[in-house]
Structure 1
Amino acid sequence: MNNFLFVASENDAIANCKVGGVGDVIRDVPKQISERGDRVHVVVPSYSRLHESGTFKASLQLNLRGISYTAQLYEVPAKEEDKNISHYVIHHPEIEMGNLGGIYHHDPFEPFYSDVIKYTIFCTAVAEAIKQKHFGKLDIVHLHDWHSSLLLFLKNYHPQYSCLKKNRFVYCIHNLALQGIRPFENNYSSLQNWFPQLEIDREALKDPRYADCFNLMAIGIRYADAVHTVSPSYKQDVLLPSAAPEFIGGEGLENDLRQADREGRFHGILNGSDYRPETLVKKNRLFPNIATAIFKQLQKEQDREKAAFLAHTGEKIVPFLKKKPNFISASVARLTEQKFYFFKRSPEALLEILDRLEEVNGIYVLLGTGAADYEQLLRDISYKRKNFIFINAQCEQVVNSIYRDSDLYFMPSLFEPCGISQMLAMRNGQPCLVHHTGGLKDTVQHVHTGFAFDGKTYDEKVYNMVESFKEALYFFENDKTVWKQIGLNARRMRFTWKKSVDEYYKLLYTFNPADVRVA
C-alpha cells in the first residue's frame, strides 16, 4: 500500500473550502487512489475557520522570522467518509480567511502579499507535520499550484526538513498565470524575513523577469520530481511564450517548462469528472434556487449598494418563477481576466449576444464573484439589460442547477488550463460554447459536442465569439435534430477520473529512489 499526502489551498471534500477547480480535483483524485487500495492524507489551511469542526491532533513548533511559531494540526470531517482518506487543516492566526471565497486574498497594490504570508506558515507547518510523521511514512507528496510549492524550497534549503528528500514530490500546475512572486528581501512577505538563517541560491529561485524576486511557481517546476498540467493541450501551450491577449502560454516560465520536458519530468494529463448518478440534481430548480440564494444573501448583506443590487436581481427572477424563458445560456466562474477578459475589453460583444438572445426570448445567467472592476461592469449591464441575470454571489445549489437546467454553457475564457465546468455541463447533455484554447480544445468539438471559437487576432476572436453564439442559436431555432444530437454527443462523452489517475500512476507516481531530486 502506498501512502500519499495531497497539499493544496482548496478541498471540496470538506465543507466551505472551494473557490475553483482545484477544490474539485482535491476532492476527486483521492477517491480514485483510495479505490486502488492506497492511503491518502489531504491537508489545506484552516483559514481561521475550518478547524472549528475538527479534532485537534498536534501542536507544530516552527522557527519563522527568528522567533517561535506554534501552529495546530486538526483532522476534519469529510462530506463523504472514506476509510482510506483523512482530511486535515493547519490553523494559525496569520493563516487568515481571504476576501475571495473565504480563501484567497486580493491585494491590488502588492500582488500575493497576504497569500504568500499565510502559505509560508502553512507549508512550514506541513513540513513539520511530515517530519513528526503525523501522516505516517509517506511515499508520494502531491503538491498543487504555487500555494504548496514552498515545501520544495524547505526540502532543498532547510536543514531541519532534509527528511523530505525521502519522498517523491509531484507538482500540479492548475493555473500558470498565478505564480506567487514576492521580493527576496526588505518586505514582510520576503524569504529573508521568514527564513533569515537560511543560505539560499538566489539564482535557482529567482523569477526570470524580476531578479530581485523569488517565484513560487518556478520553484515547483524546478524542484519537483514530476510536473504536470491539467490537460495535454495546456501543456503544449505553456511551452511557448505568451503573446497576450492573442495567446497565453508560458507566462515567463516557458524555459523552465521546456527544461522539465527535456528531462522527462513534464506531462499533460486531462482532469476528469464525477459521473456517479448521485451527482445529478433535480431538474427545473434553477430559478427557485436563485431566488432562495438571493433572499438568504439579502438577510446578511450589510453593504447597501450590494443589497440594492441583490434586490434588483431578485426582481428580475420573479417572472421566471412562473414561466421560464425559451433559452438559457449560463456561465459560472470567478470574475477575473482569465475568465471574462473579452467582456471587459469588448462589452459591446456581450450586448450583441444579449440582443440576439432577446430575439428568441432567451436570457444569460452569470454567477460569480471576484475582481471589483469586473463585478461593477456586470452590475452595470444587469441594470441596463433585462435578459442578463448577474448573480454576484456564491451558491452551490444555484451552480448545480445551472449545469442541469441551462441550454448552452458559455465559457469565453482567455485561456483555460483544463476547465471542469464544461465537463459538468456536458455530463447533463448541455452543449458548451468555448474559446478553442488549452483544455477546452481537449473536451469540446465544434458542432459535435458543442461550439468553439478562435482567431489569429483579438478582434477576430471577439467577432468569432459572437458569431459562434449566433450559430448555436441558429441550430436551436432551425435544426432541432442537429441541436439534440449535439446535446446527446455531449452527454455521451466520458472524461473519467479513473482514466486520469491511471495516467497519474503511470507517469507521475512511479517511484524510484534514484529519481528523487535534491539540491
Structure 2
Amino acid sequence: MNNFLFVAAENDGIPKCKAGGMGDVVRDVPRKISERGDVAHVVVPSYSRLHQNGTFVTKLNLNLRGMLYVAELYQVPPKKEFANLHHYVIHHPEITAGEIGHIYHDDPEEAFFTDNIKFTIFCTAVAEAIKVGAFGELDIVHMHDWHSSLVLFLKVYHPEYQALKKMRYVYTIHNLAIQGIRPFYNNYSSLGNWFPNLPLDERKLMDYRYQDCINLMAVGIRLADAVHTVSPSYKEDVLRPSNPPEFIGGEGLELDLQEANNQGRLFGILNGSNYKNIRTAEKGLLYRNTVRALFRWLQEESKKYKADFLAHTGEKVMEYVTDRPKFIVSSVARLTEQKFYFFKRSPEAFVEILNRLKKVDGIFMLLGTGAPDYEELFRQLSYEHKNFIFTNGQSEDLIDSIYLETDLYFMPSLFEPCGISQMLAMRNGNPCLVHNTGGLRDTVEHMKTGFSFDGKTYDDKIKNMILSLDQALDVFVNDKPKWKEIQDNAKKMRFTWEKSVDDYYKYLYSINQ
C-alpha cells in the first residue's frame, strides 16, 4: 500500500475550495488513488474559513522571520466519503481569503505580495506536518503549481527538513503563465525576510529576467523528481519559447523545461473528466434558469453597480422564452486574456460571428466574470447586439443548462494547458469550436468530433476562426446527417481519469500496479 500527499491551493473534494480547474484535478485524482487501495491525503490552506467545521489534529511550530509561528492542522469533512482518502486544511491568521474565489489575492501594485506570504506559511507548515508524521510515512508528495513549490525548497535547502528527502516529489503545472515571482531580499514578502538565517542559492532559485527574484514556478520545475503538464500537446508547446499572441509556450521557462525533458523528468498526461454521477439540469429550462440567476444577482449588494445591465439581459432573454432561437453557440469561462484575447483585440471579429449567427436565427450565450475590461467589453457588445446574451455572474444551474442545451461550444483560448469545458460539452454530445492549441488539440478533431482553427499569424487565426464557424453552420444547416455524426462522435469520446491515473502511476509515481 502506497501513501500519497497532495499539496495544492485548491481542492474541490471539500466545499468552497475551488477557483479553477486545479480544484477538479485535486478532487478527482486522490479519489482514483483511494479506489486502487492506496492511501491519499490532501492538504490545502484554510483561508481563515475552511477549518471551522474541521477536527483539530495538531499544532505546527514554525521558525519564520526569526520567530515562532504556530499553525494548526485540521481534518475536514469531504463532499463525498472515500475509503483511504483524508482531507486537511492548515490554519494561520495570516493565511487569508483573497478576492478570486475567496482563495487568491489580486495585488495590482505588487504581484503575488499577499499570496506569497500565505503560501510561504502554508508550505512551511506542510513541511513541518510531514516531518512530525501527521500524514504517516509518505511515499509520494504531489504538488500543484507555484503555491506548493516552496516545499521543495525547504526539502533541499532547510536543515530542519532533511527528513523530507525520503519521498518522491511530483510537480504538476496547471498554469505556467502565473509563476509566483518575488524578491530575494528587502521586502516583507521576500524569501530573505521569511528565512533570514538561510543562505539562498540564488543561481538555482532565480528568475532569468529578474535575477534579484525567486521564481517559484521554476523552483518546482528544477527541483521535482517528475514534472507534469496536463496534456501531451501542452508539453510540446512549453518546450518552445512564447511569441505572443501567435504562440504561447514556455513563458520564459522553456530552458528549464527542456532540461527536465532531457533528464526524462517531464511528462505530458491529459487530465480526465468525470462520466459518473453527473450533476445535470432538466432540459428545456435554459432561459428560465437564466432569468432566475439574473433575479438572484439583482438582489445582491455586490452586483448593484451592474443592476441596469442585468435587467437589460433579463428583458432580452424573455423574448427567447417563447420564440426559441434555432442555433445556440455558448461559452462558459472566466473572462481573462487566456480565454478571450481574440475577442478583446478583435471585437469586430466577434461582431462578425454574431452577424453570421443572425442569418441562421442563432444566438451567442456567454457566462462569466473576470477582468473588469473584459466584462465592460462584453456588456457593451450586449447592449449593441440583440443576439448576444451575456450573463455576467456565476450560477451552477445555469452552467449545467448551457452545457445541456447548446448546439456549438466555443473555446477560442489563446493557450490551453488542458481545458475541461470542451470535455464537459462533448460529454453532452455538443461539438466544440476551439483554437488548435495545447489540450484542445488533444481532445477536438476538426470535422470529426468538432471544429478547430489555427494560423501562422494573428490575422490568419482570426480569419480561420470565422471560416471554421462558417463550416460548422454550413454542416448544421445543410448536412444534418454529418452534424449528427459529429455530435455522436463527440459524445463517444472518453477522457477518463482511470487511463490518466494509470499513466500517473507508470510515469509520475514510478509505481507498477
- Per the normalisation by structure 2, the TM-score is 0.97
AA paired with 1:33? Answer: I
Counterpart of 1:425? 425
Q: The residue matched to 1:82 in structure 2 has which SS?
A: coil
AA paired with 1:300? Answer: E
Report the CA distance between 1:303 and its aligned residue.
4.9
Counterpart of 1:485? 485
Counterpart of 1:286? 286
Counterpart of 2:208? 208
Moved more, 304-313 or 57-66: 304-313
Report the CA distance between 1:359 and its aligned residue.
1.8
Moved more, 372-381 or 304-313: 304-313
Report the CA distance between 1:340 and its aligned residue.
0.7
In the aligned structure 1, how far is the partner of 2:134 from the partner of 2:492? Answer: 43
Moved more, 117-126 or 490-499: 117-126
In the aligned structure 1, how far is the partner of 2:301 from the partner of 2:363? Answer: 26
> Counterparts in 2 of 1:433-448, with a 5 A limit?
433-448=433-448
* Length, aligned pairs only: 512
> Counterparts in 2 of 1:207-356, with a 5 A limit?
207-356=207-356
Counterpart of 1:517? none
Structure 2: tracts of 5 or more residues without a match: none
Report the CA distance between 1:195 and its aligned residue.
1.1
Counterpart of 1:365? 365
Which has the bigger relative contact order, CA under 8 A and spacing at least 6? 1
In structure 2, do the counterparts of structure 1 residues 321 and 118 end up closer, same or farther at CA, with 3 Å as the change threshold? farther
Counterpart of 2:453? 453
Counterpart of 1:98? 98
Counterpart of 1:404? 404
In the aligned structure 2, how far is the partner of 1:32 from the partner of 1:324? Answer: 42
Moved more, 20-29 or 277-286: 277-286
Q: The residue matched to 2:237 in structure 1 has which SS?
A: helix
In the aligned structure 1, how far is the partner of 2:200 from the partner of 2:67? Answer: 19
AA paired with 1:321? Answer: V
> Counterparts in 2 of 1:61-80, with a 5 A limit?
61-80=61-80
Moved more, 154-163 or 140-149: 154-163
Q: The residue matched to 1:53 in structure 2 has which SS?
A: coil
Moved more, 498-507 or 190-199: 190-199
Counterpart of 2:185? 185
Report the CA distance between 1:328 and its aligned residue.
1.3
Q: Percent of counterpart pairs with the same letter?
A: 67
Q: Please say if residues 62 and 68 of structure 2, whose CA atoms lie closer than 8 Å, have aligned partners that are also in contact.
A: yes
1:58 correspondence with 2:72: no
In the aligned structure 2, how far is the partner of 1:189 from the partner of 1:124? Answer: 15
In the aligned structure 2, how far is the partner of 1:210 from the partner of 1:343? Answer: 31
Structure 1: tracts of 5 or more residues without a match: 513-519
Report the CA distance between 1:220 and its aligned residue.
0.2
Partner deviation per Cα, 1:474-505 (whole Å, 9 max, x = no partner): 11111111111101000001111100000000
CA RMSD of aligned residues (A): 1.5
Q: Please say if residues 301 and 307 of structure 1, whose CA atoms lie closer than 8 Å, have aligned partners that are also in contact.
A: no
Q: The residue matched to 1:52 in structure 2 has which SS?
A: coil
Report the CA distance between 1:286 and its aligned residue.
2.4
In the aligned structure 1, how far is the partner of 2:294 from the partner of 2:11? Answer: 25
- Per the normalisation by structure 1, the TM-score is 0.96
In the aligned structure 1, how far is the partner of 2:295 from the partner of 2:398? Answer: 13
In structure 2, do the counterparts of structure 1 residues 449 and 210 end up closer, same or farther at CA, with 3 Å as the change threshold? same
AA paired with 1:216? Answer: L
Q: Please say if residues 168 and 511 of structure 1, whose CA atoms lie closer than 8 Å, have aligned partners that are also in contact.
A: no
In the aligned structure 2, how far is the partner of 1:266 from the partner of 1:30? Answer: 21
Counterpart of 1:516? none
1:388 correspondence with 2:392: no
In the aligned structure 2, how far is the partner of 1:73 from the partner of 1:506? Answer: 31
Q: The residue matched to 1:403 in structure 2 has which SS?
A: helix
> Counterparts in 2 of 1:73-222, with a 5 A limit?
73-222=73-222
In the aligned structure 1, how far is the partner of 2:470 from the partner of 2:19? Answer: 31
Counterpart of 1:15? 15
Q: Please say if residues 234 and 416 of structure 1, whose CA atoms lie closer than 8 Å, have aligned partners that are also in contact.
A: yes
Partner deviation per Cα, 1:270-318 (whole Å, 9 max, x = no partner): 1111111544443223222222222222222245322332222222222
Q: Please say if residues 279 and 400 of structure 2, whose CA atoms lie closer than 8 Å, have aligned partners that are also in contact.
A: no
In the aligned structure 2, how far is the partner of 1:71 from the partner of 1:306? Answer: 40
Q: Please say if residues 35 and 83 of structure 2, whose CA atoms lie closer than 8 Å, have aligned partners that are also in contact.
A: no
Partner deviation per Cα, 1:440-496 (whole Å, 9 max, x = no partner): 111000011000000000011011112211221111111111111101000001111
Q: Please say if residues 297 and 303 of structure 2, whose CA atoms lie closer than 8 Å, have aligned partners that are also in contact.
A: no
Q: Please say if residues 272 and 496 of structure 1, whose CA atoms lie closer than 8 Å, have aligned partners that are also in contact.
A: yes
In the aligned structure 2, how far is the partner of 1:306 from the partner of 1:55? Answer: 41
Report the CA distance between 1:401 and its aligned residue.
2.0
AA paired with 2:150? Answer: L
Moved more, 242-251 or 390-399: 390-399
In structure 2, do the counterparts of structure 1 residues 41 and 99 end up closer, same or farther at CA, with 3 Å as the change threshold? same
In the aligned structure 1, how far is the partner of 2:313 from the partner of 2:43? Answer: 38
In the aligned structure 2, how far is the partner of 1:58 from the partner of 1:100? Answer: 29
AA paired with 1:371? Answer: A
